[in-house]
Amino acid sequence: MTDRSATDQPLRDDIRELGDLLGQILREQGSQDLYQTVETVRSLAKQARGGDNDAATRLEEALTGLDDNMIMPVVRAFSHFLNLANIAEQHHRVRRSRAWARAPDTTPLRGSLEEGFKRLAAGTDPDDLFNAVCRMQVGLVLTAHPTEVTRRSLLQKHNRIASLLETQDRQDLTPEETGDLQAALKREVTAAWHTDEIRQRRPSPEDEARWGYAVVEQTLWDAIPRHARRLDRMLRDYTNRGLPLDVAPIQFGSWMGGDRDGNPRVTGRVTRNVCLMARWQAAELYDKELTRLISELSLQCRDADLREQVGDAWEPYRVVLKRVRARMRLTLRWLEARLAGRELPEGEIYQHVDDFRQPLLDCYHSLHRCGAGVVADGRLLDLLRRVSCFGLTLMRIDIRQEAGRHTEALGAITRALGLGDYADWSEEERQRFLIAELDNPRPLTPRGFAPEDDVREVLDTFRVIAEQGPDSLGAYIISMASKPSDILAVELLQKEAGVKHYLRVVPLFETLDDLEGAEACLDRLLEIDWYHQRIQGQQEIMIGYSDSGKDAGHLTAAWALYQTQERLLACCRRNGVELTLFHGRGGSIGRGGGPTHAAILSQPPGSVNGSLRATEQGEVIQAKFGLPGIALRNLELYTTAVLEATLQPPPEPDPEWRELMDTLSGTAVTTYRGMVRHTDNFVEYFRAATPEQEIAGLTIGSRPAKRRQSGGVESLRAIPWIFSWTQTRLLLPAWLGVGEALREALEQGQEERLRTMFEQWPFFHAFLDMVEMVLAKGDPDVAAQYDRRLVPDELQPLGDDLRQRYRHTLDAVLAVSGHERPLADFPVVRRSVDVRNPYVDPLNRLQVELLHRVRHRNEEHLRKALQVCINGIAAGMRNTG
């Protein structure tokens, strides 16, 4: 047995145990007939995956022959197994990280704090390393894009199963304890089997916010102080100084309840409520921590400063902390009353984080001065770390709105004033008007102004912003921004609403045209004296991976995003401004997803200069932060990658590489747009061959699947566009155009240069790795099954062409990477794909059958079975959109 086989044996044991439990439950809670059907399908699928054509034929016959009553439980059985496999894999990742940490003689795990600090310290002055940690600002923004298909009720059960697997790993369990654990596992798997996978209603924005806050409560609340302890230890080891109490290198933001771009359900009222909910959740968590501290800090020693506050009180720390808790509980009651619309209780609540932090610091310093520092460095220090990270508001909420909505609002105001329509003015006219009004102290909006609902909602949003304290909100993101007036318009609307704590205004450049015009926009903006003074040398810009990929294809979008960052960075340097880039990444490769560490290290040199913001979307939140061990691992990956990119950035790419990338990009975008935009009947084929129309009916997010209810691919949001191709295993958005570009370069004798780029340029290496990963997870033969059953005969050649392009792309990628098969450098991912295929394959075949039945007999039980099937394939593919 190889070392890797031995290492993976516990994972195989866990999957086998969970699979056996599910089999027992199918027999006990379903029927012997169901169990036998599932076993037959599973066996045939494994044989078919191994190349047995006869088994493939019998598998298709078995699945198409299932009656309506049997198809749902079979779909559920395979979906549940894939979810259980995911749980086992996540737990195994934690197990492997712990095993690595217990073996000091082994090479530290790549990306761990131990490995990162050891390597960075070898070439960095200790003061520079310490200062880099202290000024590091990583903002992880949780978003509620509709990609988390698993209900929260099931996620909680899945987390309990993972916790039981962790306990089961203990070496000192008695036979009785082992039996109890196995019984508990069976209870959780049984409870999951009897829990409906489908939400009965589409979640509201408030529901999505509660789900985000639950992630903080369940894992991040404990992960943050644990991560800070490890970071403090590394700093002491390598710089002889610890992590300052007020430093929080990683903080969290949220778009849940603030992202109104294309989502009419996010209103001013919703944003106000979500801000109050965030404060309430933080207050409740702090109340629990304070109660634990009061129980713990029975010490009687005190320093002179604390004596001034509490005199000769018998237990001084309890006196101080009980006062703090009483005020926190009043804050809780006040927030509850605000949310319920009741009369507010009297008394002073916590409004500013420093008022809460100071008495905790007083206790901390007193304990240290009295010789009880070891006590202070326990639960009290953890609480101070939480305060530095989460403040009183848990997560600052960003507001996002589309630029055109601000134009409409200002147009309504200028028309009411008799000035004409702002929307019709040139860019120069708009800028003159905006700057003049920004300098004008009088109100702009006329008295008695009564706009239409859409404009009223925009203005209501700014009034809500004006109501909030300085810590509730983060940034104002402008999607579809393209010119300076888009940014100035938001500044004016903030002024008009009486905002005291102005939000930083962040333009979001998304489409290829907007990315290419981003530098010119920023250059013109920074030439405006008013704006230059306004930003005080700090500029944040968001770049969008989703819509740029849908617009131009993965390769062209990736190269455009890289060059845009370079140009924006150069522009800011010319103007004496520090730039923070906000990466709007999704979970799938086609939307900028992929391994965190490699993604950060592949950015242009200088673009990660101690600061970085990034979205964490949908199912990615659960995958990265759903379990405590996984959350810790991802926190350290962000930390070490940002430190490395800051202190040891990659070299500038060779000019010849740039020239070749320009050529590759040109070929790729021509190919991609030629297929998606200009091929006759492509949209008709897409909607026949994928479950795109049916995905729109899923109750998995508050936002509509389309920006407009009519139109073709351009009307779709990036998530359902990618979600649909992921379901059929063709994954077209991530590779279309890549193969043609690489093959053309290879035919022109560029193989050696491409190989050099892959070996020496982190950007190109990371890009090709991600494409290879996508191609390994996909399967054109599976996609062909959809065509045979669902696509009209006249459109079949289009599908044949796409699948041939898929295979040619794989050949070209392997030719450049030098790998004999996909994922040669990622054996763990390769194993994961191989384990899942025999279980995802039946779900794909069942989905084809269900799509055929639903499209001919649109019955409720069939639609529900299809939704469960969609969820199961998403679990098997480990992402949706």
pLDDT for res 880: 42
Q: Quote the CA–CA distance of 811 and 813 in Å, as a whole number.
A: 6
Query: Which one-letter DSSP state was computed for residue 220?
Result: I
782 phi and psi angles, rounded to 5 deg: -65, -45
Helix, strand, coil percent values for the chain (each to nearest 5): 65, 5, 25
699 falls in which pLDDT band (50, 70, 90)? low
pLDDT band at 589 (very low <50, low <70, confident <90, very high): very low
pLDDT at position 196, please? 83
Structure confidence by residue, pLDDT tens digits, 471-525: 999 999 999 999 999 999 999 999 999 999 999 999 999 999 999 999 999 999 9
The mean pLDDT of 166-188, rounded to a whole number, is 92
Q: Is the pLDDT of residue 147 over 50?
A: no
Asked if 382 and 365 count as a contact pair (C-beta separation under 8 A), the reply is: no
Q: Is 254 helix (H, G, I), strand (E, B) or coil?
A: strand
Share of the chain above pLDDT 70, in %: 94
Beta bridge partners of 540: 580
Single-letter amino acid, residue 611: S
DSSP classification of residue 471: T
Structure tokens at 443: 């109100």
Do 831 and 96 contact (CB within 8 A), yes or no? no
What does the pLDDT read at residue 587? 54
Q: What is the per-residue pLDDT across 448-457, written as a single tens digit (0 to 9) for each?
A: 899 999 999 9
User: Averaged over 133-143, what is the pLDDT?
Assistant: 95
Condensed to tens digits (0 to 9), the pLDDT of residues 356-371 reads: 999 999 999 999 999 9
Q: Which residue do the tokens 């407009």 mark?
A: 708
**Residue burial 278-315, b: 16+ Cβ < 10 Å; e: rest:** bbbbbbbbbeebbeebbeebebeebeeebeebbeeeeb
Q: What is the arithmetic mean of pLDDT over 583-602?
A: 70
**Which amino acid, residue 675?**
M
Q: How far is CA 510 from CA 244, 518, 548, 584, 612, in A?
A: 38, 10, 5, 9, 18
Place of tokens 């770049």: 543
pLDDT band at 95 (very low <50, low <70, confident <90, very high): confident
Residues 333/379, Cβ–Cβ less than 8 Å: no
- Looking at the predicted structure, is the pLDDT value of residue 245 above 80? yes
Token digits of residue 31? 């029927």
- Find, among 460, 326, 476, 339, the residue nearest to 397 by Cα: 476
Which DSSP state fits 138? Answer: E
Cα torsion 859, 860, 864, 869 to 10°: value is 0
Structure tokens at 2: 């190889």
Q: What is the pLDDT of residue 27?
A: 92
* pTM, 2 dp: 0.92
With vertex at residue 381, the alpha carbon angle to CA 377 and CA 382, rounded to the nearest 5 degrees, is 120
pLDDT at 879 over 60: no
Cα–Cα distances (Å) from 624 to 95, 147, 632, in that order, read 15, 14, 9
The more confidently predicted of residues 27 and 149 is 27
pLDDT at 593 over 70: no
Residue 647 pLDDT level (bands cut at 50, 70, 90): very high
Whether residue 594 is predicted with pLDDT greater than 80 in this model: the reply is no
- Decide if 46 is catalytic: no
Q: Which of 92, 550, 554, 624 is catalytic?
A: 550
- pLDDT over 90 (residue 838): no
**What are the beta bridge partners of residue 139?**
251, 613
- pLDDT of 442 over the 70 cut: yes
Q: How confident is the model at residue 3 (pLDDT cuts 50, 70, 90)?
A: low
Distance CA 812, CA 664 (A): 13
Tally of CB atoms within 10 A around 404: 13
259-285 per-position pLDDT tens digit: 998 889 999 999 999 999 999 999 999
pLDDT in tens, 335-345: 999 999 999 99
pLDDT at 709 over 70: no
Give tens-digit pLDDT for 512-561. 999 999 999 999 999 999 999 999 999 999 998 878 888 899 999 999 99
Q: Which helix (H) or strand (E) holds 476?
A: strand 473-479
For residues 313 and 147, which has the higher predicted lDDT (pLDDT)?
Answer: 313
- Contacts of residue 204, defined as CB under 8 A and 6 or more positions apart, other chains included, come to 265, 270, 702
Judge contact between 836 and 47, C-beta under 8 A.
no
Count CB-CB contacts under 10 A for residue 871: 25
* Nearest-angstrom CA–CA distance, 826 and 830: 6
**pLDDT for residue 462:** 97
Categorize the per-residue pLDDT at 705 as very low, low, confident or very high, splitting at 50, 70 and 90: very low
Note whether 26 and 34 are within 8 A (CB).
yes
* pLDDT interval class at 250 (50, 70, 90): very high
**What mean pLDDT do residues 415-419 have?**
96
| Whole-angstrom distance, CA of residue 580 vs CA of residue 5 | 44
How confident is the model over 48-54, as a mean pLDDT?
91
pLDDT of residue 680: 92
* Residues whose CB falls within 8 Å of the CB of residue 804, separated by 6 or more in sequence, listed in order: none
Token duo for residue 729: 């295993």
- When pLDDT is averaged across residues 374-394 and rounded to a whole number, the result is 97
Q: Establish whether 145 is a catalytic residue.
A: yes
Question: Taking the CB of residue 740, how many other CB atoms lie within 10 A of it?
Answer: 22
486, 507 contact by CB (below 8 A): yes
If residue 540 lies in a helix (H) or strand (E), which one and from where to where? strand 538-544
**Distance (Å) of CA 47 to CA 779, 786, 837, 841:** 16, 20, 11, 11
Average pLDDT, the chain: 91
Model pLDDT, residue 298 = 95
Tell me: pLDDT of 145 over 70. no
Q: What angle do CA 811, 714, 202 make, to 5 degrees?
A: 105
Residue 32's pLDDT is what?
92
Q: Any residues with CB less than 8 A from the CB of 735 and at least 6 apart, and which? A: 554, 771, 774, 775, 806, 809
What is the average per-residue pLDDT within 613-635?
87
Query: pLDDT confidence of 591, banded at 50, 70, 90?
Result: very low
pLDDT of 114 higher than 50: yes
Please report the domains of the chain, with CATH numbers, ordered by start residue.
272-390 (1.20.1440.90), 655-877 (no CATH)
Look at residue 782 in the predicted model and tell me its pLDDT: 95
> Which one of 80, 92, 145, 227 is the catalytic residue?
145
